[in-house]
Structure 1
């Protein structure tokens, strides 16, 4: 007794695997590889241009240098500001107590300056601000700085 059932015939292993999982993948040709490299280069150039333009648009930066508590009602805060020399900036400076509560706050204006003042051709200047406090401060920091007048 023989059966003519087609499912009973064995297929070669490579043919049955191709039916189950699909055929072999084609390798990327020379033209496809070249296009892939071009796209990668264009993406890299675009990313570098984006980095260059976003870092160039930062108009003002600041850095805390230190502070000195003169008494229970006053603190002196030293900080550095980097900006275009002809621009006017404002910086918010705050004094904090031991529980990090704000006990003093002042906005100070940093006006235009000559290129020979400060470092980097007048871009970076150092400032000291005496700040009145409600109670004894244990820290003084710059909270933020921004440009108010472009100066050109």
Structure 2
């Protein structure tokens, strides 16, 4: 009995399947991992926003506006400060020389007043005594008192 070409091809397929195994297609898990990654990314972004808001909302915030060096013994620092309603604040002002060494320092207390408008920045200009001629003046930081 001679084998037919169709029979030989079928036998060869069985031999290859036995040797290398049959390829079974499984459902891909890539869409699942992409969905889980998207959910994790959204949760991380939401967490970052919540933490950022908790850190900044309701805090005393200050911004330098300018300075004026009067002479070797005096300077003035102008700054804006945003204070939550009903909160007193303290701001540290520093006048520095050309080597960035402090030559003048002053802590200013900012009391909440009825004229203060919540949500708006108030601008202050404060004189600072110095021990040498300064070249710049900054608000070093503010905090609730």
TM-score using structure 2 length: 0.70
What does residue 8 of structure 2 align with?
none
Are the structure 2 counterparts of residues 51 and 69 from structure 1 closer, same or farther at C-alpha, using a change threshold of 3 Å? closer
Give the conservation status (yes or no) of the 8 Å contact 2:83–2:118.
Answer: no
5+ residue gaps, structure 1, are 1-10
Structure-2 residue corresponding to 1:7? none
Corresponding position: 1:15 with 2:12: no
Query: In the alignment, what sits opposite 2:7?
Result: none
Q: 1:138 corresponds to which residue?
A: 135
RMSD over equivalenced CA pairs, Å:
3.3
Instruction: Report the secondary structure of 1:50's partner residue.
Output: helix
Report how far residue 96 of structure 1 moved. Answer: 0.3
Give unpaired runs (5+ residues) of structure 2: 1-15
Q: Return the TM-score normalized by structure 1.
A: 0.67
Q: Which has the larger radius of gyration?
A: 2
Q: Which aligned segments of 4 or more residues in structure 1 are displaced greater than 6 angstroms?
A: none
Encode CA deviations 1:50-85: one digit per residue, 9 max, x unaligned. 33333325x111000001111111001100001113
Q: Contact (CA 8 Å) 2:103, 2:131: kept in 1 or not?
A: yes
Q: For 1:141 and 1:25, how far apart are their aligned partners in 2?
A: 66
